[in-house]
Chains A and B, each alone.
Chain A
Amino acid sequence: MAAVELSGVSRRFGRTEALARTDLRVEPGEIVTVLGPSGSGKTTLLRIVGGLVAPSSGDVVVDGMAPARARATKRIGFVPQRPALLPWRTVEDNARLLLQVNRGAGPPGASAGSRDLLQQVGLGDFLGAYPHELSGGMQQRVSLARALALGAPLLLMDEPFAALDEITRTDMRHLLTELCEPLGTTILFVTHSIAEAVFLSDRVAVLSSRPGTVVGIERVDLARPRSPDLEDDPAFFAIERRLRGLLHEGMAR
């Protein structure tokens, strides 16, 4: 059974077609990135999988159930574009937030405690700090710990590192693989950074310009665990080059 399966999914907003008929299948434990230019419907696709937006047509199955059901049973960990930390909560309380909400559903899987996760993302000394006391990168680490604390089998990540500087951004993708590779969490990641897509993914789905649809899927045959020096590897560059070609193809359509 696929972790995520989209069949013929499309979405219109009024007269604008954001997403044209799209098919995509993500296997359990797989990390799949959706790569596309601005306005190609990447975020819409992610919201459809997360059950936050209903598709205009087509079918979506998450973990064998409808997205709304997966959401209600807390099977989806969501990492939004902005960290969206609650400014009145400390770092530790923010990391616990999703566990405290909709308790009835309970976390579907066991996770490391939120305190342990904060240690792992390097924020062990900031448990009692408030979001405004943190840098952008640190805030995004809290957001990551918050999603992982849920122990959900599926993580949806919506350009979480887009607002960060290049150095922090690179650190963050290294941190993400370090945390998620051993867990075997299924991840659907959205980005417009080619290097990010290659480093993180098992497969990369490239979307065309609006209305977005998958123009090609590139398998990333690089060994795991992935280490930072992989980004200097000729094989890495070769995949980047192929993805750039697919992106241009999608933008020319």
Chain B
Amino acid sequence: MRTRTAVVAGLIGLAVFTLAWELFVRLLDVEPFILLPPSRIIGELLERPGFYLQATLVTARHALAGLAIAVVVAVLLGSVLASSRFLEHAVQPVLMLVLVAPWVAYFTSIVVWLGRGDPPVVFLVALVTMPAFVFATVAGLRSADPAARELFASVDARRWEVLWRLRLPSALPALLATARYGSALALAAAYYGEGGNLTNEGLGAVGRRAANGQNGPVLWASVLATVLLGVVFLTLISLAERVLLRWHVSQRRSLLVGEPEPPVP
């Protein structure tokens, strides 16, 4: 399918969904505190674009800083774990605990430790997104072609050379695939962190204040702004995949009859 057709199809899908939502709320007279029609939410966003944009930038900063820290720590930790099955097995349960523990449970501890403001939110985002990146790094580093590893060994390549020139590029597809899921998780963590009283800034804080004041339009506008930010993140990751993974099978055009074609830049 051509890119343009794909974009048009996506827009049609969104339009149909929004229209159905609008009709559902209006025709069934749904109470405003249960669900608002999309027109009200969009109207609220457009009424104070500067206010929402500023809060969105704060949430974006929290999510991106947390993600960046998570990726750096994960790649470093993953590189160490990939070199030893014992270490990997030793650390795996801890990472699983981090992954499944309810974040709300340690909000208070984080605030006591880091105070309020950016640091606790960024820490929360980094903490919850990091395990998936570690798993992706370990699996990706191990996926390097054994024949290529032998080739590197034949000229006595240093460990860091094998890591930098062979293993990390081999891990890139897994890391970028994880970034899709990780960016959504990062936004959720940033929103919950901001809303969970870790800071007074960001979309989560806007949402928390609106919920306390039972202001439906503002609450939903903060959710919609988070969704739009998520769309921006996913678009950026897709672009990064097209540039960085030009060589990868996922980014190539299929020539097989009847096979779905990958996205074409």
Q: Which residues of A contact B (CB under 8 A)?
A: 50, 52, 68, 71-72, 74, 76-78, 80-82, 84, 86-88, 97-98, 100-102, 105, 130-132, 150, 156
Contacts and interface: CB of A to CB of B under 8 A. Distances in A.
Interface string B228-265: 00000000000000000011110010000000000000
B2 interface: no
A58 B161 CA distance: 32
Given A86-B166, A101-B157, A105-B156, 7 more contacts: A52-B154, A71-B153, A71-B156, A88-B169, A98-B155, A101-B161, A102-B161
Interface of B: 145, 147-148, 150-158, 161, 165-166, 169, 172, 246-249, 252
Contact of B246 (A82, A86, A130): A130
Most A CB contacts (10 A, CB to CB) among B150, B152, B248 go to B150
Contact of B148 (A81, A84, A100): A84
A80 B150 contact: yes
A238 B47 CA distance: 92
A72 B161 CA distance: 14
Most A CB contacts (10 A, CB to CB) among B152, B161, B247 go to B247
B217 to A, nearest CB: 48
Nearest to B166: A86
Contacts of A82: 147
Contacts of B246: 88, 130
Given A86-B166, A87-B248, A102 B156 contact: yes
B165 A84 contact: no
Contacts of B157: 101-102
A46 to B, nearest CB: 10
Nearest to A75: B155
Contacts of B248: 87-88
B240 to A, nearest CB: 14
A98 B165 CA distance: 11
B153 A84 contact: no
A76 B151 CA distance: 11
9 contacts: A50-B154, A52-B154, A88-B246, A97-B151, A97-B165, A102-B158, A130-B246, A150-B155, A156-B154
A131 B246 CA distance: 12
A130 B247 contact: yes
Contact of B151 (A68, A72, A78): A78
Contacts of A131: 247
B150 A78 contact: yes
Nearest to B252: A132
Contacts of A88: 169, 172, 246-248
Contacts of B169: 86, 88
Most B CB contacts (10 A, CB to CB) among A50, A78, A105 go to A78
A84 B172 CA distance: 18
Contacts of A150: 155
A135 B4 CA distance: 32
Most B CB contacts (10 A, CB to CB) among A71, A76, A88, A150 go to A88
B154 A71 contact: yes
A52 B150 contact: yes
Contacts of B147: 80-82, 84
Most B CB contacts (10 A, CB to CB) among A76, A77, A80, A81 go to A80
B150 A84 contact: yes
